[in-house]
Amino acid sequence: MKYYSTNHKSDDVTLRDAVVRGLAPDRGLYMPERLNKMDKEFFENIDKMTFQEMSLEVAKAFFGEDIPADDLKRIVYDTLAFETPVVKVEDNIYSLELFHGPTLAFKDVGARFMARLLGYFNKEEKQLVNVLVATSGDTGSAVANGFLGVEGVHVYVLYPKGKVSPIQECQFTTLGRNITAVEIDGVFDDCQALVKNAFMDAELNQHMKLTSANSINVARFLPQAFYYFNAYAQMKRLGKADNLVICVPSGNFGNITAGLFGWFMGLPVKRFIAANNANDIFYNYLKSGVYSPKPSVQTLANAMDVGDPSNFARVLALYGGSHKDIAGHIGGATYTDEQIKETLKDCYERTGYLLDPHGTCGYRALKEQLEPGEYGVFLETAHPAKFKEKVDAITGGDVEIPARLQAFMKGIKQSVELSKDYTDFRQFLFNESK
């Protein structure tokens, strides 16, 4: 299958090129030229399939022309070594828990899939692939853990010294093996600038093979469709799959766009809701038809602090640019930090279900917008323990840290300290490749 750029100024590419490049040369996002429909039989039997089985069928629709069935099966089954259960929160409202992976957030799914796909593409090559990733916290941990132990690939995680939480830091500094944590004396933007400079450095790129594991990469983005099918299957088992509304806490809009892909492939979801924090760019677009990006503001749900969501370009491409169609199929919501606090506390006290600040936006939007006869599923995008200080301050409780998160905290931190000067980073990479 070919992949085209949403800016239409670059050539169409193969899956392999789309994955290795990440962003198209015209700075557009890659999109598959077609979305194959799943057949009727698939949906009739979906409630009898395991998560891995149904995901393999969906993966074949995306990647079946490019990857032999046996390899694809191995990649999908290895990626999905954990469940995404649907859990009842209250009447008609269910949580799709996406935090049962190694770093307790949904980004594990895309990162694990991309790691295995890159490993597959690089199998026949002698040269090591080096993945550079800049992180303000969560992406680094998902990518590092996703790529841990993948042969032929080395990952460099650049993060700002002293600016990520101790829980986040230990998830990518204690791994060792093919993961190197690089601690930069600067802020997140400095880390991002270093990575960008390295990609544009022709001499360095001749010397070593570099690639990015950015969230806009098709290999990180498309596999997120899998768990929407799993949500539907579980609701079908409960007899509650008719009139299904899926609500997605959204920042860069990769997660919800994968769900929309599912819908275009025939997934019977009535409508979607994108729940924003105070970064209300998409919400305003739905109301006005005008997309006006603005600088992001910091909120309690910080992984959604995005002022110019990259994947908006993919949403537009899916609906042929029609505001009417987009607004007719996707609802919006926006919440302040005060509202997030109030809702997280209220839900915990009334139902006993502890939300994280991101999932809270999704829960509240369903609570406000679900109509009689509809069933709602919101995506619980991370485990509340990842935001322990904030969540404890809101509930007055003491959220228990899951064992796999505690295990990271017992590891020994290893990192390379560098200044924010590109010459230092460049020299470091040259030395590494000797």
Active site residue 107: yes
Looking at the DSSP assignment, which residues form a beta bridge with residue 92? none
Instruction: Look up residue 420 and give its DSSP letter.
Output: S
Q: Is residue 103 close enough to count as binding ligand PLP by CB under 6 A?
A: no
Q: Is residue 253 close enough to count as binding ligand PLP by CB under 6 A?
A: yes
Residue carrying the six token digits 């040269």: 127
Residue carrying the six token digits 């597959």: 120
Cα 346 from Cα 336, distance rounded (Å) = 15
The dihedrals phi and psi of 12, each to the nearest 5 degrees, come to -65, 150
Neighbours of 202 (CB within 10 A): 7
Instruction: Tell me how far, at minimum, the Cβ of 371 lies from ligand PLP, in Å.
Output: 24
Query: Which 336-395 residues touch ligand PLP, going by CB under 6 A?
Result: 358, 381-382
Q: Is residue 249 close enough to count as binding ligand PLP by CB under 6 A?
A: yes
Q: Is residue 107 close enough to count as binding ligand PLP by CB under 6 A?
A: yes
Q: How many residues bind ligand PLP (CB under 6 A)?
A: 15
Q: Is residue 279 close enough to count as binding ligand PLP by CB under 6 A?
A: no
User: What is the DSSP annotation of 297-342?
Assistant: ---SSGGG--SS-TTHHHHHHHTTT-HHHHHHHEEEEE--HHHHHH
Contact window for ligand PLP (CB under 6 A) among 23-31, 147-155, 252-260, 424-432: 252-260
Catalytic: which of 107, 236, 341, 420? 107
Contact window for ligand PLP (CB under 6 A) among 67-75, 151-159, 249-257, 410-418: 249-257
Q: 255, 276, 279, 334: which one contacts ligand PLP (CB under 6 A)?
A: 255
List alpha helices for 38-106, DSSP H: 40-45, 51-63, 69-79
Q: Is residue 62 close enough to count as binding ligand PLP by CB under 6 A?
A: no
Tokens describing residue 218: 């098709």
3-state secondary structure of 44: helix
Per-residue binder mask for ligand PLP (CB under 6 A), 114-153, x = binder: ------------------------x---------------
Contacting residues toward ligand PLP, per CB under 6 A: 105, 107, 138, 249-255, 303-304, 358, 381-382
Q: What residues act catalytically?
A: 107
